[in-house]
Amino acid sequence: NAGVTQTPKFQVLKTGQSMTLQCAQDMNHEYMSWYRQDPGMGLRLIHYSVGAGITDQGEVPNGYNVSRSTTEDFPLRLLSAAPSQTSVYFCASRSYVFYEQYFGPGTRLTVT
Amino acid sequence: QKEVEQDPGPLSVPEGAIVSLNCTYSNSAFQYFMWYRQYSRKGPELLMYTYSSGNKEDGRFTAQVDKSSKYISLFIRDSQPSDSATYLCAMSAIYGGSQGNLIFGKGTKLSVKP
């Protein structure tokens, strides 16, 4: 039981490049979410999904896209990377009934 | 006013001390309260989880929720150097626009000195 997995662990992008951060969970959780963590800002919600085919925006959605085609996977796409998107990104999941969220190990992204 | 306020510290204590970590909040709809521990360069790890008011104990850790004061606490007894980490409080509403989403405090960095 791997829990929540994220790839890659580290990534360096140039301004304007696009990429997809992968997230997968094997706990059959309906709810998945993406956060970014910046020094002094805490964890901020980017996008979330309550089930396959359903996504919604969080607190800081601009510059990011998501889709949810399966229960297990919830990728986060950066369309045109900007230095302001330099951050650590965490994916999390929980069941629809219980509110405890479980986090992945994170992706450390640098945009130059 | 931020929805969740948490003193960022840093907090430094000697080994064996009792540690008290706190958060205040403003949203009366919050019903689920959690504490996460985050080691450097790792993902947040769920430590304690409580629903509504009251206390919950797990080993050396005790979580308290006082909804009348909108105040939650995490106590660590007999603190160990391995407890050195950043502790994040988080809470969730059961109704309203942000229902089900976790709102985090900014975290308190704790260092336990041998």
Residue A44, CB-side half-sphere exposure with 13 Å CA sphere? 17
pLDDT of residue B21: 97
Give the closest-approach CA distance of A1 to chain B in angstroms: 16
pLDDT of residue A42: 86
Q: pLDDT confidence of B1, banded at 50, 70, 90?
A: low
Q: pLDDT confidence of A98, banded at 50, 70, 90?
A: confident
The residue that leads in pLDDT, A90 or B53, is A90
Look at residue B82 and tell me whether its pLDDT is greater than 70.
yes
Look at residue B76 and tell me whether its pLDDT is greater than 90.
yes
A100: contact with B, CB 8 A cutoff:
yes
pLDDT digits (tens, 9 = 90+) for A65-90: 999 999 999 999 999 999 999 999 99
Kindly state the percentage of chain B with pLDDT values over 70.
95
pLDDT of residue B93: 85
Q: pLDDT confidence of A25, banded at 50, 70, 90?
A: very high
Lowest-confidence region among B9-13, B28-32, B36-40, B91-95:
B91-95
With beta carbons under 8 A apart, name residues in chain B contacting A44.
104
B85: contact with A, CB 8 A cutoff:
no
Look at residue B97 and tell me whether its pLDDT is greater than 70.
no
Look at residue A19 and tell me whether its pLDDT is greater than 90.
yes
pLDDT of residue A41: 83
Q: What is the mean pLDDT of chain B?
A: 92
Nearest CA in chain A to B44: A103
User: Would you state the torsion angle of the CA atoms of residues A47, A49, A53, A56, taken in this order, to the nearest 10 degrees?
Assistant: -40
Q: What is the mean pLDDT of chain A?
A: 94
Q: Which of A44, A99, A106 sits opposite B43 (nearest CB)?
A: A106
CA distance B110 to A26: 32
Kindly state the percentage of chain A with pLDDT values over 90.
89
With beta carbons under 8 A apart, name residues in chain A contacting B107.
42
Beta carbons of A4 and A103 less than 8 angstroms apart:
yes
Q: Which of B32, B36, B107 sits opposite A99 (nearest CB)?
A: B32
Give the closest-approach CA distance of B17 to chain A in angstroms: 26
**H-run or E-run covering A55:** strand A54-57
CA distance A65 to A59: 13
Residue A85: φ, ψ to 5°: -95, 5
The residue that leads in pLDDT, A69 or A42, is A69
CA distance B55 to B78: 18
Kindly state the percentage of chain B with pLDDT values over 90.
78
B88: contact with A, CB 8 A cutoff:
yes
Taken in order B37, B41, B24, B11, the sign of the CA dihedral is: positive
B2: contact with A, CB 8 A cutoff:
no
